Every structure is written in structure tokens, then in C-alpha cells.
Amino acid sequence: MNDTINWLLGGEPWVEYRTRLDLLGQSRQDQSVIDAKSRMISHPQIQGLFHDLDNWGGQLVSSHRNAELPLHKLAFIADIGLTVNDPEIKRIIDLITEHKDDHGVFQVVMNIPEHFGGTGENTWAWALCDAPIVLYSLVRFGLGHEPPVLEAIKFLTSLARDNGWGCIVSPELGKFRGPGRKDDPCPYATLLMLKLLSQAGGSKSGRESRVGAEALLDLWKKSRESHPYMFYMGTDFRKLKAPAMWYDIVSVADVLSQFEWLISDPGLNEMVGIISSKADGSGRFTPESEYRAYKGWDFGQKKEPSRWLTFLVLRILKRMEAVR
């Protein structure tokens, strides 16, 4: 394990930064942590993400699976540890908070064709497959106690049903609904809401969190026959992939492992067992699938171990062990 940690510390500054904080438990005031963050912010790849996010409203959200979308890049820079105290983040937050609806939910630009129940026009709107990502990022940036953010979280949480969260969109998108039965939970929307609530203070142990977690774990139990809204937990789901932005085994385990009351759940432990069994002889993990949008990043290839993916897995394992 020491060799693996040293390998992570010798990698990209965002890997080093999160390793020092999350795996080694170092203080943010530690000089080595401060230095890693400074190098992270000035790194060309992170600067490139800042540049992309300056065009927050300029890219149409048509497919939420598109890794190029600013909202996924937003979540990544939130995950690596940037905050509202960083000038680049303050600028991005100002762009995001310019557009919200009457419930305080922050919006993105979407266009739903008329034959899918939309208007066929570009409009500022939200869906449960994007709004929780934006709110999650704002909370991670340090805005979790701000009234507008709390208002939006409260509203989205209230949309929970007895089986998780469904395919729900704002009125601007008309009658649009994904390819599934109306009463089915949307696995991805439920995952994103759990990801948000894992960071939202008292909501972490609330009824909605428990119902959502049970919904995902039930889908895991029934993975061969239950595929609501065409979200499968099959072969592709079980491939190791980063960043944790879509519906895959690393993303689901990363979220569920943050709920301490789930640590002994057989389904979660089975997922984590599948993940950990894919380590190489050095305890490192190689992506089995990749997003082309991240070509040039260490997790954007399938030929050699990825430090960021390895960090994500080790953090999951540490959470599991810490609670036990």
C-alpha cells in the first residue's frame, strides 16, 4: 500500500492533493497540501477546464451522457477540491447562478424536440439528470449553507417517491420524459440525488436518502431483469471508468459508500468486491472503458493503470474500512 500511495503522490497535482487529504488525512494547512493545490490550479489541463466553463451557457445539453458537457467538468473540478475562495471558481459560480427558476433550481440550456414532448427551442431549464450535479458542485465549492442552494436542494429532495426519483423535468421542457414507465425510478436521477444528499448535511440520513439507496441496491439485485429507463447494470456497467460522472459501478459505489449505514449492505459489498478484484499485482487499477473527451488524461485510456481511478477506488475502500 505504501508503494501505491507513493505512486499516487508522484502523479498529477489533483491526484496528489486528494491523496494527501482523503487517504493520508493531512490538513489543508499542511505546506505540501498547499503546494499541491497551487500546482493543480495552474496546471494546463485544469486551466483548460476553467476556459470551457467560462462558456457555461454556450453549449446545448442534448445528451446528458456527453462527457464534454460543462456540467460534468464542473463536477470534476468540484471533486478535486476547488472552492469559492479560488478566483476562477467565483467567476464560474456567478455564471451558474444567473439562471434559476421559481423554485430556485439552477438551469442549463436545453432543447427538447417537439416529437419528444418539448418545444423544439433552446431554453434555460433543468432535469433531474443535471440539476443535482450543479447543486452538488455548488455545495462542494462551499455554498452548502447559502439560502438559494438550500432552497433548491429542499425542492429537489421533495420530488422523491417511494422508489427513488423519477424522470422529472422543469415546466419549460413540456411533456418530455425518458424511455421508461412513468412510475419507474430513474436510476441516474436517483444516483445524482444521492450524490447531492451525501454532501447536504442533515439530508444524508433522511428518509429520501434511504429510499434512494434502497432503490439502487434493489436494481443491483435485479440487474438481469430490471432496466428502468434503459439503464443497465450489466457488462458495461461493471467496467472500471473515470471520472465518476455516469451510471457505472465505480460511480455508484463511490456515492453509496458515503452513507455509513450502508457499509454492511451485501449489495454494496458485492460491488466493491468486484471493483477491488480488478487490481493488478501492484494494487493499481486500469480503466476498462474511457471517455474520448478525456483523451490525454491518465484515465482517458485503457492500456495502463490510472492514478485518478486508483485513488477513487482506494477512497471507496478506505470509507468501507473506516466504518467497519
- Comparing 179 with 133, the larger pLDDT belongs to 133
- What is the per-residue pLDDT for 180? 77
Please spell the DSSP secondary structure of 216-252, one letter per residue.
HHHHHHTTTT--GGG---STTTTS--SSS-SSSHHHH
Contact 287, 309 (CB under 8 A): yes
Which range is least confidently modeled, 33-47, 169-183, 204-218? 169-183
Q: Which CATH class is domain 43-231?
A: mainly alpha
Does residue 324 register a pLDDT over 70? no
Residues counted in the chain: 324
What percentage of the chain reaches a pLDDT higher than 70? 99
CA distance linking residue 111 with residue 172, whole number of Å = 10
What is the rounded CA–CA span in Å between residue 106 and residue 28?
A: 30
Nearest C-alpha neighbor of 53 from the set 66, 39, 71: 71
Asked if 94 and 88 count as a contact pair (C-beta separation under 8 A), the reply is: no
Predicted pLDDT at 62:
81
Cβ 240 vs Cβ 208: under 8 Å: no
Residues in CB range of 248: below 8 A, 6 or more apart: 236, 237, 238, 239, 241, 289
**Model confidence, pTM:** 0.95
- For 301-312, the pLDDT digits (tens) are 999 999 999 999
CA dist., res. 215 & res. 45, Å (int): 37
- Residue 290 contacts residue 236 (beta carbons within 8 Å): no
- Predicted local confidence at residue 60, as pLDDT: 85
Beta bridge partners of 106: 100
Kindly tell me if the per-residue pLDDT of 323 is higher than 70.
no
Residue written as grid cell 424522470:
167
Q: For the segment 186-245, what is each residue's pLDDT rounded down to a tens digit?
A: 999 999 999 999 998 767 889 999 999 999 999 999 999 999 999 999 999 999 999 999
- Alpha-carbon distance of 254 to 308, in angstroms, equals 13
Q: Kindly report the backbone phi and psi dihedral angles of residue 284, in degrees, each rounded to the nearest multiple of 5, phi listed first.
A: -110, 160
pLDDT tens per residue, range 46-67: 999 999 999 998 888 888 999 9
The pLDDT tens digits of the residues spanning 5-17 come to 999 999 999 999 9
- Distance between CA atoms of 193 and 165, rounded to whole angstroms? 8
Check whether the bond before 305 is cis (ω within 30° of 0).
Answer: no
**What pLDDT score was predicted for residue 114?**
77
Q: What is residue 119's predicted lDDT score, i.e. its pLDDT?
A: 75
Measured distance CA(264)–CA(272) in Å, rounded: 11
User: Domain boundaries in the chain?
Assistant: 1-40, 43-231, 234-324
Say whether 143 sits in a helix, a strand or coil: helix
Average pLDDT score over the chain: 94
Each as own residue / partner, the long-range contacts of residues 290-297 (CB below 8 Å, 24 or more positions apart, any chain) are: 290/241, 291/67, 291/241, 291/243, 291/245, 292/67, 293/66, 293/67, 293/68, 294/67, 294/243, 296/45, 297/45
Please give the pLDDT value at position 96: 96
pLDDT tens readout for residues 77-127: 999 999 999 999 999 999 999 999 999 999 999 987 777 777 778 899 999
Judged on CB neighbours under 10 Å (0-12, 13-18, 19+), 59 is: middle
Query: Cα separations (Å) of 147 from 105, 144, 154, 213?
Result: 12, 8, 10, 26
SS3 305: coil
Q: In this prediction, what percent of the chain has a pLDDT beyond 90? A: 86
